[in-house]
Amino acid sequence: MKKSLLTLPLGLVLALAGQAAFALTGTINFQGRIDSVTCPIDVIDPVTGAPGGPILIGYTYTDKFPNVGDESVGKTFQLKITPGGGCTVPPGSTAATVTFSSVHGGVGPSNELHGLKPLTGVARGIGVAIKDNDGALIPNGVASKSYPISVTNPSTMTFHAAYRSHAPVTAGPAEADVNFTVNII
């Protein structure tokens, strides 16, 4: 009898050991970013002067875009470079250009507009147009005109964002993520 009692626990141990051999595996996706930014740049709402936050282009209606190329009223914003605190503007530099690049790809003629996030029910036939302070379109992925900057004082560069139609427009959410690169020259 004692022999059979010892055999039972040994059988359980072997059964459990056999189950441990069938472990499941998986994948963990880690995401992040490491930048070499030497100059913090603030996105500023020129009406409030407040930094950060999304730039709210506003709400509009599909009937405001009867033709391809029609635009909404839009919103002005600024990029502010502040020398000091880790920001070194190279001596002799007097200007900067900005390149805006759509995270979700370009749309419209020559992909010059910034594509919208692929949200559920996203608006169609529309992209975000970014213009310089003279009203000239800055195509997706192309450098802007030169803006004057100071080596010692804060400098602001003013832009304007609006929705622009590139096909018949349908209603829905219209959000875009756009990266920017400031090139000090």
Asked if the structure places residue 62 within a domain, the reply is yes
Instruction: Return the bridge partners of 71, or none.
Output: 164
Of the candidates 76, 140, 143, which has an alpha carbon nearest to the alpha carbon of residue 114? 140
Q: How far apart are CA 114 and CA 153, in angstroms?
A: 31
Asked if the structure places residue 108 within a domain, the reply is yes
Residues 6+ apart with CB under 8 A from 60: 72, 73, 163
Asked if the structure places residue 121 within a domain, the reply is yes
CATH of the domain at 163: 2.60.40.1090
Domain count for the chain: 1
Reply yes or no on whether the pLDDT at 85 is more than 70.
Answer: no
pTM above threshold 0.85: no
Instruction: Return the bridge partners of 99, or none.
Output: 143, 181
Least confident piece of the model among 40-49, 93-102, 124-133: 40-49
Q: The domain containing residue 180 runs over which residues?
A: 39-184
Asked if the structure places residue 34 within a domain, the reply is no
Asked if the structure places residue 56 within a domain, the reply is yes
Instruction: Using alpha carbons only, give the angle 56, 61, 66 rounded to the nearest 5 degrees.
Output: 120
pLDDT tens across 40-76, in order?
788 998 878 888 778 889 889 999 999 999 999 999 9
